[in-house]
Amino acid sequence: MIPSTTERVPQHTAQYINQRICETTESRILCSAAGGREAIDRRLAQLDREWDIERALEANAAAVLLLGVFLGATVNRKWFAFPAVVGGFLLQHAIQGWCPPVPILRRLGFRTQPEIERERYALKALRGDFRDVPPSEDRSAAQQAINAATR
């Protein structure tokens, strides 16, 4: 069965890596909350620039494809097999959510877009962006925001 788009990468990632990514996210939320509104604003700006795993895979694949085509055209035609393999990996990732670079990128800390959005949601809740949720800098409010974002 084909996994859902939002869960396919975490389903194919070792649990300890998923846990480490989650703990790092929680730590960033708590640090931002302790730093006040300015720290939250800075972190939200960083999240706007963060590459998710899909973007990293696309950039990686494009670079390898171009290299394979270049080497095939200039060095040896056998290099044309390289882009075909990368294309196969991309197709495998689109269907299953896994391909050989995924474990490496996850270990490097690349997150999925939903993982990034959960952090964004928690930070915005702490900042007071949502009606009926007052801004807060205390640890219990930060933990409540994290819990709400992960539901």
**What letter does residue 76 receive in the DSSP assignment?**
-
The pLDDT profile of the chain, 151 residues, written as one tens digit per residue, is 677 878 889 999 999 999 999 999 999 999 999 999 999 999 999 999 999 999 999 999 999 999 999 999 999 999 999 999 999 999 999 998 899 999 999 999 999 999 999 999 999 999 988 876 666 666 677 777 777 766 6
**What letter does residue 5 receive in the DSSP assignment?**
T
- Cα separation, 115 vs 20, whole angstroms: 12
* Cβ-based neighbour number of residue 143 at 10 Å: 15
Domain ranges of the chain: 1-50+112-151, 52-110
Is residue 101 within 8 Å of residue 57, measured between CB atoms? yes
- pTM here? 0.84
What angle in degrees, to the nearest 10, is found between the helix axes of 15-34 and 113-127? 20
Is residue 126 within 8 Å of residue 145, measured between CB atoms? yes
